[in-house]
Structure formats: structure tokens, C-alpha cells
Structure 1
Amino acid sequence: MTSTAHPLANRIPVADHPALDVSGLTVATDEHELVSNLTFRIERGERVGLIGESGSGKSVTSLAVMGLLPDSLTATGRVTVGGDDRNVIGLGEAQAAKLRGANMAMVFQEPMTALNPLLRVGRQIAESMLIHGTQPDRAAAERRAVELMTDVGLPTPAETARAYPHQLSGGQRQRVVLAIALANDPELLVCDEPTTALDVTVQKQVLKLVLETVSRRSTGLLFITHDLAVVGETCERVLVMNKGVVVEEGPIDRVFTRPQHPYTRGLLAASDLDATDTAGRLFTVATAADYVLGRSVLRTAQRPSAPAAPAAPAAPTSAALVRAEQLTKQYRRDRTSLRTPAPTVDALRGVSFEIEAGQRFGIVGESGSGKSTLLRILSGLDQPTSGTIDVVGRRLNGARHADLAELRKNLQIVFQDPMASLDPRMRIGEIIAEPLMNAANLQGGIAVSRKERAALVAEMVHAVGLPTDSVERFPHQFSGGQRQRISIARALVCRPRILVADEPVSALDVSVRAQVLNLLADLVDEYELTLVFVSHDLGVVRHLCDRVAVMQRGEIVEQGETRAIYDDPSHPYTRSLIEATPTIRHTQEQE
């Protein structure tokens, strides 16, 4: 890294103080405590992971450390950062702001929320240094910004410095945020789920960059996440939080191989997508007693790769439920000049595949691979530029209204963010029953009575494992995992033949993820569904699907039986995806 002098002479020598010292931290609302008597310490250059599920208190802890708690919360205890003796708790915004960016900095989950969309990214990096006075003038700050962009691996940094955030990819934006965080050589770097929204190969690059940077600068790292595999590859020590209390802490090699607390064991079990119980189901926190850790041979039976249904003769190719042949899709971008034609983007380039009835078909790939475009065409929401696609015997190219109505009867979608697809003003019973109000959605096209609707809703509520009284409540009264169950219930209430799941567990905690994946597997078998599962998480697809298609840049580069492809991938891109995917098993075997 290029060295630049910083006016930080008031700092105490490295050996004299930790990067972070937290003592007796308690954070509460008027009604209950969110964090209780938390005490821990991070030395300079030490990498500490803070893990736990939603509601565990880990994000509240990070906000308290940064002096960013909202006024609705009260905090007591002591938090000091670097060589500054002032207690961050109760310090006041003006003084805390001086510490942020200088003594400590934070990298958030979503970089677009941390960047100003109206300022060029180089200017935003420079502003951080000018605010804290670590560069003498704007010209020096802008030169230093380009150096920092080089340090974090951004391509053509001088040119990229002139770009706006929306002109960069997600991984590039996260690198810009990291450059801003490191601009003033903070003694503590707080990363709050910094790679959750990134593709696996970009995640690997960003994690490597964070590790190299904190090691080179002897920066203390507090890494907050619900992904245990990421913590295992990033941190030396881990704190496990549950309901506002640290239930276990220690070195990664001990905690991840010899956990002392049942909750830690449950998180490890739920994170291991290679382990199933004797019924072929993923472990959850509640069912983790029989999980075998580390290198031990599992005392569990792998779920069969095909639905456990009575054997039947294989359907001929002509009977495929979904068939796509040489699909292409081109988009035109806005013109950049009056003298040049609008550039075209090839979102799909000759995509062909078939899905048999009853299959669990996975589609994997990173951002820009064409997954979303293919999903829109498969769902009748967009038309291909060329090629053909048939779903349940209906051609969707130039589909008429009647063809699309038939598609709605046979195909339903579960989206990534259930809250965005649930009307907050409707009760759950009304949400699940809504598709039943349109006779066109129903097999046979015959409307059902109010009594029949109530019975079907009650059946689906029970099938997805929600309490009976859920029908009278509203979406905001449920957790993320429960809201996803509601979305699944609504999708299945009309008895479709095909269920399309678009990243349905990517935003869920590991234990909730396991519950929803188990639920999907059970419902696919019980209702004899054909599942199309779209994801960038190869571990999830490996567990759930019996066939997989790997997409890159609008093409299917490899497809076939899931286990065969994962065990012996033939395409370099598939191999790179598998190698970049962190797994808890890999972490345990390394120790």
C-alpha cells in the first residue's frame, strides 16, 4: 500500500491499547433489554466474529459501538475505541462523529445506502479525509482517494473515481465503501453483513481484501454476520449471541469443532447443508442433538435426490412439463450519442433445457447471468427475442390471454422478499385466499364458495406450519421466515403443477433457512409439484434439487444431475463457483 502521512499524532502507541473495549454494555427499549451486560475486547489486528440470528442483538451491538443508536433506545456501560478514553455511550453525536471515520469505521450490508448517489465515488472517498483533516487540501485528498481505490482492487482507479455509484457493480460499490472506511486508518473496522448481497465469487474477493487490509494495517475487525461459514474463513475468534446475551466465545477452531452451548451447536448444524437427519431433513437449532461435528462421519442418511414417490416409468422427452429451445433475449440500452445506435445487451443467448414433471430443477448463476430474464420469460412476464418456450403444453411465445390464464393455473412464484409481495393492509387469511377469488386461477375454472375458500386457506396454513390464528393477523406481525411461509401458502392454494422459487431463502437466518427448505421439500412431495429453484447459493441447490443448470453471461454452460455436476464439474465457471462457496464443513475440516 502506498504510504501517506496522516496527522494522527495524538494516538497512543499500538501496544498500549486495544482496538475496541466493551464493558457492561446494556441496550434496552422501554419494555425489554436487547443487549444485556455485554463485555468483550478486540486487540489491534485481531479479527473477531459476532454471530447470531435475527433478534440476537448483534446489529444493535454494532450501532452502540459506532455511537449510532436511535433515540428510542437507551444504553449503559462503557465502549472505548483505540487510544481514545472517551466513552462512546452517551458521548453525543458531535463528538461521536469525530471518532467515526478516524478511530473507527463501518462497512454496511448494502453499499448503495451508504453512498451518495449524486456524488462521484472518488469525491466521496476524498470527503472522508477532508472532514477529519487527514489530508491538507482537496487535491491531496483526491490523489489519496485514487491510491485507496488501487489498494481495494478497483479497475482503472483514476477513471473509476469519476463514476457515480449506480455506474458500478455491487462488488465495486462495496470496495468503494471499504476505501472510505479505511481512508483515515481507523483502529477498528466494523463490518455488518458486508457480503450478504454479493455473489459468491465477489464475496470471496471482498473477504480476501478485508483480511489483507486489516492485517496490513493492524486494524481490529468486528465482523457481524449470520453466515457461520464466512466467519470461519475470516475470523480468529467468535462471539455467539442469542437473545441479547453472549452464550459462547472463544477461538474459531474450538467453538466450531467443540461447541459448549446447545445454541452454538444448533447454529452449526443448521449451517451445514451437507448434513441431514435420518429422515433426510436439514437440521435446525431445535433438532440439532444428533448432528455430528467436524471430521466425524455423519450418523445421518442423505435425502434422496428425487422425490420419495412411487416409482414410475420415465416420461418421454415429448412429455416434458417445461421445454425451452434456443431462447434469446436482447435489450436495447439508452443511446450515449446521437451519432451512434443504441447498444444491445444479450441477456439470453441460445438457452435450451427441459424439466420433467416432478423434478426439482435448480438454476444457478451470479448477477448478470440471465437467471432473472429466464425467470420472467418462464413466468409469462416477458417475451423472448427468438426461440421457443412451452409450459404445460402451452407455447408462451406471443401467448394469448387464454394461454397466460392457463399458465397462472399451473405455475406460481415465491419471491425473495416476502414483505414486498404481501399487502401490509390485508390479513393473512385474505392474502392466502386472494388467488381463489379469480376463477381463472383455478383448475376447471370454477369459482369456490366462501366456505370452501376458508377450508382451503386453513389447510394451507396448517401445511406450511403456521398457527391457526395467523389468518386474523397482518404481515408485520410475523418474522421473515413466517412471512415466507405465508408466500408459499398463497402460491400453493390454487394447486399449481409448477412452483418457481426465486431466491426464497437468501435473506433468512440459517435455522429459518433450514426450516423453509425442509418445508419446500415436504410440500413438493406431498402436492406432487415440479420445482424450479433459482438461486446463487450452490449449497442450497445441491441439497434441494436433483438437476441443475449453471448460467453464465446469458448461456447455460453446464447442466445435468446435481450430484454429478457438483462432484465433478466440467466447466471452469462451475468449478469457480463451487470453490468460492464457503461451507461450515470445510471450516471444520480445516481446523
Structure 2
Amino acid sequence: MNTPVNSQLALDVSNLTVRTPHASLVSGISFHIAQGERVGLIGESGSGKSLTSLAVMGLLPEPLTASGTVHAGDDSVNLLQLSERELAQRRGKSMSMVFQEPMTALNPLMRVGRQVAEIMQIHGTQPSRAAAEKRAVSLLDDVGLPNPAEAAQAFPHQLSGGQRQRVMLAMALANDPSLLICDEPTTALDVTVQRQVLDLVVELVRKRDTGMLFITHDLAVVASVCDRAVVLNKGDIVEEGPIEQVFQNPQHPYTRGLLAASDLDARDEHGRLFTVATAAAYRPAEVAEQVAAEPAPEPVGESPAEHGGEPIIRARDLTKTYVRTRASMFGKAAEVRALRGIDFTVHAGQRFGIVGESGSGKSTLLKILSGLERPTGGQADVLDIDLMRARDRDFGTLRSQLQIVFQDPMASLDPRMRVLDIVEEPLLNPANLQDGKPMRASDRRDAVAEMLEAVGLSPDAMERFPHQFSGGQRQRISIARALVCKPRILVADEPVSALDVSVRAQVLNLLADLVDEYALTLLFVSHDLSVVKHLCDTVAVMRAGNVVETGTTAEIYENPQDDYTRQLIEATPTLHHAIGSA
């Protein structure tokens, strides 16, 4: 990739400091983005990436304050000194932002097509409401939503997490901004749609000579999209430069740590994934040569044939149909066939991975198997419980032995509860007694502290609330809650999609340890095929409510039989390919 020769700056940040009344969170950082240049801002959760982007947009929450200077495009005014009204005139038109968590940014009471149209009407970029709504449908089509006209009539809660993020992308692109800030824009997207969306964003940047600040924990995505990288650690810039330099010859130990933790094919001397803290022995310059010379590591754990466990989850001709709200009084309610006759079996001790695009039915399947929704037809048995005929008492038994990590932590954590209360809640279940007695409060607190440390959070997090954490940190809280009672079955719906690479490695190491130590059965859904390849022994590929292919990890990844499976594997960004093509 070549850095644009145009000297005009799309963004110029100088000595930016973000503070609370008591501490500095971003410490006087400076960087710039040339017109037409794409800059990746990388670092772990809590490093200050999102705070930097919010400061540029003038969206810092109270009591945070920003100082320094920020200039966007040819605007000579320091954005940090503008009033809210003056900033509002620029947001969505001259500069736009895609947020990490779409459910917190979308209006739950407004149809998504109307929300996309509204941003064009506010800034007068379309001549009429009808024109704006027509353009909104076109934009939803551009970002890869199936049946965009129908999707425009849906409310946010009726879409999957990935589909909601695509709506946010359509809103950000609606007015062709001169500065585009993307904060983890593809975190919730499957790999094929991620590739489409990234290609779309890059095409827009090139076409309009737009500057882009791209924030993500996925280093492979940064290498494939950006010209330069800026590495942020604890509020300070520790390294920056062209992608080739930063990724192939990093100068700072923290950068080398991020690269090591991103590489799911690399192992330390103990056979575990590298983290930032254990990355001293990792050598990124040798990665491409090693991959070419050595076969890929086998997935962690035993194969299905080796564990020999009895069937613990069975699905036969399983179906689920939803009926959407009518678009008008006399209109016909649309039916959505989320599952179209699913068949598979999971054995005790197995690590069963499910992959597929957003809307393929993965999350619906997990909700049914977890007892959170009833199937429409077919058969589903979990732990000898028939979910079609189960009573409330049966579901109570099921939930004492099965725990789930949800995809969207903000929607699954009670904002009014402290982290201590959230994580210890499963320990209050009567099924989790110690010698027939409830756990003492002190024991529960010790268990919570231990689990928080295991997922990379300090024990003092127990006294705080979910809104005081980053998106990645909230997902770690969700994982701690699911693992604290050591369930028999762990159901994980995109459990590491919101985590930075180092914590992702920690959590994957932790999951592997728990599965082995407690003979857990793991049902694992992810759009990141590299994660599934590392952790699972069996993979099922879903598309449009069907299972199109099932097999061992080696069979699926080395010799896929279905064209769709091949497309997923080819679209998956990897660190090795990114380094080789940077």
C-alpha cells in the first residue's frame, strides 16, 4: 500500500489529552491522517482507542474532558473548542463514525430504514423524505443486508448483531463524509460480509479521497485495509509507521506482543497461545517462513473419535419460524424461517464449532438448545431433556448444567447490578450447593475474584457497574459469569468477538483448560474461523437455516466439500497472509 501523496490533512491531532477529574486516560498523543489515507489505531481494550475517536467527534461522556487541538479537513477551527450545536452540524456530514456496539447506537423504537433515511434528511443531502427512504434501501443493499426492502421495515431487535452493525455502516456512509472513523466496525460480522464491508469502505475512501481512522483489535484486518498503523498502549502512542514496518519489523515490545497474540497458529514453549505478557519468544519476521515450512497445528484437545462420549445434544429435523410485525394494517405478516430442518449430534466432551454468516440461524439454534426459545418443529434433546415438551422444572434443571455466553454483553448484563452480583448470580442457583448447603458470601466473593482475574480483569472490578467498562471488558465479565460455576455444557455465542487479541488468547487458553480439566462439552459459535479451527474438534457449517456441511476440523478446513465452506475459508483474514501481502 502506498501513502497518498496529497499533503492535505483529513485529520490532524496534536497533544490530545483525555482526563477524568482525577486521572489522565489519553496522554498528549499526536498523529495525523492525510487526505485519502487509511490509518489503523490498534491496542488492547482500555488503551484509549475509542476515547480518542470520541474526543475527535466531540462525544466524550461526562465527566471526561479533552484538551489539545483537533482539526478535520480544511476546517481551521479546533474541534475541541466548538459548541455541541456546531459539532452537530459536522457529525454525519463532513465526519462520521461507526460505533462498536450497534444496539446502543440505534433507536429501538424506529424502523432501521427510517433511521438511515433520517440522517440524510437532517443534513439535507436528499431532496425529500421519499428520496431519502429510497436511498436508504439502496444503502442497506450496498452493505450486504439480504432483502434490503424488507430489512428496512424491521426494528433493530428483529435483526442479528451482524445485521445491526451493517445498518450502522449504511448510516455512516449515507452522506459520503470526508472523514470516516470506524470503531471496531466489523467485530460482529461473519467473514464473508466482513470482506464485503471492508471492500466497500475502502472503495468509498478511494473514490472520494477520504481520510479514515480505523480502530480494531484485528491486526489482519488493519494490514489488509490500512496504509499506516498507530499503536496505543495505556493512553500513549508507543509506535507508528507504515504497515510493512510495524508488522514485519516492530520496534516496541508491546507491538510484538500484539502480533504474537494475534497468531492462533503459534504456540509458546508450553503449547499455549501467546499473550502480550508471554510474547518474548515470538518472532514475527519468521512467521511467513514457518507457516510455509510447517503444517498447521492441530486443534486443541481430542478428536470426536478419541473422546468417545455418549450423545449429549441431539437435533433432528429441527425448525424455527418467526413471524414479523406487519408493516401496515392490511399487510401480510412476513415469516422468517430461521431453521429449516437441522440435524446434528454433539457427544459429551466434544468441542463442537458452528460457523456461518450473520442470519444463518446460529444464534437461534443456540437459544433453542439453551432453553431460551422453543422450536417450531422437529426434535431437540439436551441432557436427556426433550425441549419440545419440556416444562418449567425441566428448564431449571437444564440451566443448572448449561451456561451460555451471549454475543452482545451490553444486552446481557444488568446495568443496575455490580459486577460482583452479576458474576456470582449462577452460584446462587440451588443446584450449585456445597455439601448440600448454599455457598457462603465470602466463598462466592473469592470465586468471583478468581474468575475475574482468569479473564483478565482485576478484583476491584467487582464494585463497578457494566457501563464503566469498555465493550471488550464487558464481554470478559459475561465469560466470567458463565464459567464461575463450572457448568457441564458451555454454550458460547461469539464469546471472543469483542475482545482484544491478548485477552482473546487468554480466554481461549482458559476455555481449553476448563474443557480438559472438567470434561466440559463445548458448543462454540464464531464468525472467526481461525478461532474455531484452534479450539474445536468438529465443525458444522450453517447457511440460511441449514447445515450444509459437518466434519472434523481437519476435514472441513483441509478438504471442504461445499462451495460455501470454501468461500468462508478463503474470506477469513489471517495474520500470515496479511504480513505476506502488506
User: Could you say whether these structures have the same fold, taking a TM-score greater than 0.5 normalized by the shorter chain as the test?
Assistant: yes
- SS at structure 1 position matched to 2:557: helix
In structure 2, relative to structure 1, the CA distance for the partners of 1:434 and 1:284 (3 Å cut) is same
Q: 1:53 aligns with which of 29, 44, 50?
A: 44
Change (3 A) 1:291 1:342: same
8 Å CA contact retained: 1:56, 1:241: yes
Using a 3 Å threshold, how does the CA distance of structure 1 residues 172 and 487 change in structure 2: closer, same or farther?
closer
Return 367-376 or 489-498, whichever deviates more: 489-498
Tell me the residue number matched to 1:447.
Answer: 436
1:179 corresponds in structure 2 to 173
- Aligned residue in 1 for 2:379: 388
1:327/1:386 contact within 8 Å kept: yes
Residue 205 of structure 1 is matched in structure 2 by 196
- Residues of 2 paired with 1:150 and 1:420: CA distance? 24
1:420-445 CA-partner distances (Å, limit 9, x unpaired): 555566666665554454444569xx
Aligned amino acid, residue 498 of structure 1:
I
Deviation at 1:511, TM superposition (A): 1.0
Q: Aligned to 1:321, what secondary structure does the other structure show?
A: strand
1:373 equivalent to 2:364? Answer: yes
Q: Which of 484-493 and 402-411 deviates more? A: 484-493
Equivalence for 1:503: 494
- 1:408 aligned onto 2:399: yes
Q: 1:414 to 1:301 in 2, by over 3 A?
A: farther
Structure 1: how far apart are the matches of 2:8 and 2:324?
54
Distance 1:157 1:179, change over 3 A: farther
The answer as to whether partners of 1:410 and 1:498 remain within 8 angstroms in 2 is: yes
Distance in 1 between residues matched to 2:100 and 2:521, nearest whole Å: 34
- Alpha-carbon spacing, 1:441–1:342, altered in 2? closer, same or farther (3 Å): farther
Q: Distance in 2 between matches of 1:61 and 1:82?
A: 17
Match of 1:575 in 2: 566
Cα distance in structure 2, aligned partners of 1:479 and 1:190: 18
**Other-structure match for 2:164:** 170
The answer for the alignment partner of 1:295 in structure 2 is 288
2:184–2:215 contact (8 Å) kept in structure 1 = yes
**Residue 463 of structure 1, CA deviation:** 6.5
Relative to structure 2, which stretch is displaced further, 242-251 or 325-334?
Answer: 325-334
SS at match of 2:497: coil
Alignment partner of 1:549 out of 540, 544, 557: 540
2:303 equivalent to 1:305: no
Q: Hey, what's the Cα distance between the residues in 2 that align with 1:58 and 1:381?
A: 35
Show the 5 A alignment for 1:235-250.
235-250=226-241
**Kept after mapping to 2: 8 A contact 1:188/1:219:** yes
Please show how residues 245-394 of structure 1 align to structure 2 within 5 Å. Answer: 245-293=236-284, 294-297=287-290, 304-305=298-299, 307=301, 315=308, 319-335=310-326, 342-394=333-385
Instruction: State how far apart, in whole Å, the 2-side matches of 1:468 and 1:209 are.
Output: 39
- How many residue pairs get aligned? The number is 565
- Correspondence for 1:3: none
The SS at the match of 2:214 is strand
Aligned amino acid, residue 353 of structure 1: F
* Structure 1: distance between partners of 2:419 and 2:60: 33
Calculate the TM-score normalised by the size of structure 1.
0.83
Query: What one-letter code is carried by the residue in structure 1 that aligns with 2:245?
Result: R
Pairs within 5 Å for 1:400-439: 400-401=391-392, 403-417=394-408, 421=412, 434-439=425-430
Q: Deviations over 1:396-424 (max 9, x none)?
A: 33124554344334322233355655556
Higher alpha-carbon deviation: 386-395 or 547-556? 386-395
Return 5+ residue gaps in structure 2 as ranges: none
C-alpha separation between the residues in 2 aligned to 1:421 and 1:162? Answer: 25
Match of 2:551 among 543, 557, 560: 560
Change in Cα spacing, 1:146 to 1:513, as seen in structure 2 (3 Å) is: closer
* C-alpha distance in structure 2 between counterparts of 1:472 and 1:115, whole Å: 29
Residue 72 of structure 2 corresponds to residue 78 of structure 1 = no
Deviates more, 1:539-548 or 1:479-488: 479-488
More off after superposition, 534-543 vs 60-69: 60-69
Extract unaligned runs of 5+ from structure 1: 1-13
Deviation at 1:479, TM superposition (A): 7.2
SS of corresponding position for 2:567:
helix
**Corresponding residue of 1:219:** 210
SS where residue 9 of structure 2 aligns?
Answer: coil
CA distance 1:248–1:396, shift in 2 (3 Å)? same
* Contact preservation (8 Å) 1:275, 1:300: no
Match of 2:492, SS state, is: strand
Give the distance between the partners of 1:64 and 1:478, measured in 2 at CA.
17
Q: Which sits farther off after the overlay, 188-197 or 68-77?
A: 68-77
User: 1:97/1:571 Cα in 2 relative to 1: closer, same or farther (>3 Å)?
Assistant: same
Of structures 1 and 2, the one with the larger relative CO (CA 8 A, separation 6+) is 2
* 2:537 counterpart letter in structure 1: D
Shift of 1:496: 3.5
Report if aligned partners of 2:475, 2:499 keep a CA contact under 8 Å in 1. no
2:114 paired residue number: 120
**2:491, 2:173 → 1: CA distance?**
39
- Work out the CA distance in 2 between the residues paired with 1:493 and 1:162: 40
- Structure with max Cα Rg: 1
Q: Specify whether residues 264 and 374 from structure 1 end up closer, same or farther in structure 2 by C-alpha distance, changes over 3 A only.
A: same
Percent identity (aligned) = 57
> Partners of 2:344 and 2:146 in 1: how far apart?
39
Q: Secondary structure at the match of 1:45?
A: coil
SS in 2 for 1:124: helix
The amino acid of 2:362's aligned partner reads K
1:545 to partner: Cα distance: 0.5
Shift of 1:547: 0.5
| Deviation at residue 550 of structure 1 after TM alignment | 0.9
Q: Name the CA distance, whole Å, in 2 between partners of 1:457 and 1:16.
A: 57
For residues 159-183 of structure 1, give each alpha carbon's deviation from its aligned partner in whole angstroms, at most 9, with x where no partner exists. Answer: 699857758843652343133341x
**Per-residue deviation, 1:260:** 0.6
For 1:572 and 1:250, the matched residues in 2 are separated by 39
SS of residue in 2 equivalent to 1:586? helix
Structure 2 equivalent of residue 540 of structure 1? 531
